[in-house]
Amino acid sequence: MTATRVVVLGSGFAGLETAFLLRSLLDHDQVELTVVSDRSDFLFKPNTIYLPFGGDEHRLHIPLSAPLARRHITHRVTHVDGIDADRGLVHTTRVLPIHYDRLVIATGATMHPEEVPGLAEHAHQIWTPRQMRALGDELQWVAAHAAHGRPQRVLFLVPPNNKCAGPLYEIAFMLDTWLRRKDVRHQVDITFTTYEDRYIQAFGPRLHQVVEHEFAHRDIDGHTGVEVTKVTDTHVAYTDGTDREFDLLIAFPPYVASVRYDGLPADDRGFLTCHPATRQVVAHPEIFAPGDAGDFPVKQAFLAFLQADAVANTIAAQILGTGPRAGFEPVSMCVMEMFDKATFAQVPLTLTGRPGAPVAVDQFNLGAYRVGTSKIWRLGKKTLGLYLPMRFRRGLPFHAGAPWRAMETGLHAGARWLAT
């Protein structure tokens, strides 16, 4: 039998998880795997939140040549120019196109600050390591001015069409702790504004209550349901007529798809329209879009893993001729860093079909909905930060094998004892 050619576009969470799990399920004489990406390494993006506070970026980059070669996966470092779905071809900046029998599009999302007038020019954004390092420089100035008795105003902003603002909340909490440790917090006003009706709206009322409590405890001035209209070099204007002044503005801009694929169904932001359980692109059963490239409304690493697992299992079943396997069940899991403690959240999600609130907590699976705050959860955050890079360095999927079963057991035990 000729090996099935599977091409994976993207080397982020969804792309690598799909490739590594598929290789764990099938030998190289059953599936010929190729990963196409515009970079030679993997960036562990969730831990870039530590960079503004002096974190080591080098540890966040994982070179991919060795783990991919070890798993008999071809890696082509190039840019995708487009695909020909009728002929099963991927066009890249290289001369020859790449043929596929199955295509996995995991090229992710990017930021589009230009949607908000003035945001790109006047806000510090949190997306790339370079932006995080630049933010760190600004935070050092904030602390220095505060230490010399000059009050500072730091404003956080979540505009519409941001698909997961969790990291911005983390930085707000971390900044509070960091400033307190420098004994200058009393000189810095911190304000947090979001267009959503509740804090981290997709993750339900329990996480909203945690954030609300922490904001009050930390003297962070929080506001929900306020939508930005424009940004100047010193002010943010909102649709409710309010106008807030700042010395430093930190924003998490709107999301759009990193790559738009002509001829494939997508929403107005370029995210590919998928069947919810399999992540197969509508009208193209041979094409899959796990993670941020697809249309699931929440863009988050753990959800990307779950989607990638569903994709790998579906492709493996198709190649082996076996029955369908479990599809994507959206149960988010995250740990929100605060420097002095952390909050764990396990949230079963369901699609609502409502544009203003496209996902909500699944009311039929409330037993899996758990939220808790503790210093111990910081250990969980650090453990995950070690576990995932270790797996990818070895060319192994996140959700597989004895190490993951041990990790999962620990997380579930912690959820029972440290969350409600």
pLDDT at residue 1 in the model: 66
Q: pLDDT digits over 375-404, tens only?
A: 999 998 998 889 999 999 999 999 777 777
pLDDT of 270 strictly over 80 = yes
pLDDT of 416 strictly over 90 = no
pLDDT at residue 18 in the model: 98
Average pLDDT score over residue span 267-276: 97
pLDDT band (50, 70, 90) for residue 80 = very high
Instruction: Name the CATH superfamily for 4-108+258-418.
Output: FAD/NAD(P)-binding domain (3.50.50.60)
pLDDT at residue 347 in the model: 96
Assigned CATH for 113-254:
3.50.50.60
Q: pLDDT digits over 334-391, tens only?
A: 999 999 999 999 999 999 999 889 999 999 999 999 999 999 999 989 988 899 999 9
The phi, psi pair for 418, rounded to 5°, reads: -115, 5
pTM of the predicted structure, to 2 decimals: 0.96
Q: Which 8-state DSSP code applies to residue 233?
A: S
pLDDT at residue 11 in the model: 97
CA 70 to chain centre: 27
Query: What region, left, alpha or beta, does residue 163 occupy, with left being phi > 0 and alpha being psi -120 to 50 degrees?
Result: alpha
Residues of the chain above pLDDT 90, percent: 90
Average pLDDT score over residue span 250-264: 97
pLDDT at residue 419 in the model: 78
Q: What residue spans define the domains of the chain?
A: 4-108+258-418, 113-254
Same fold, 4-108+258-418 and 113-254: yes
The number of CA neighbours under 13 Å toward the Cβ of 141 is: 10
Q: Are 308 and 14 in contact (CB under 8 A)?
A: yes
Q: pLDDT digits over 95-136, tens only?
A: 789 999 999 999 999 999 999 999 999 999 999 999 999 999
pLDDT at residue 95 in the model: 73
Mean pLDDT of all residues belonging to the chain = 95
> Residue 43 has which token pair?
């960036």
Cβ burial 185-202 (10 Å sphere, 16+ → b, else e): bebbbbbbbbbbebbbbb
pLDDT band (50, 70, 90) for residue 417 = confident
CA 383/CA 14 separation, integer angstroms: 20
pLDDT at residue 154 in the model: 98
**What angle is formed at CA 336 by the lines to CA 225 and CA 55, rounded to 5 degrees?**
115
Residue tagged 């589009």 (tokens): 112
Q: pLDDT digits over 181-208, tens only?
A: 999 999 999 999 999 999 999 999 999 9
Q: Which 8-state DSSP code applies to residue 266?
A: B
pLDDT at residue 94 in the model: 82
pLDDT at residue 337 in the model: 97
The number of CA neighbours under 13 Å toward the Cβ of 415 is: 17
Q: Are 111 and 269 in contact (CB under 8 A)?
A: no
pLDDT band (50, 70, 90) for residue 405 = confident
Three-state SS annotation for 328-341: CCCEEEEEEECCCC
Residue tagged 């230490």 (tokens): 147
pLDDT of 414 strictly over 80 = no
pLDDT of 296 strictly over 70 = yes
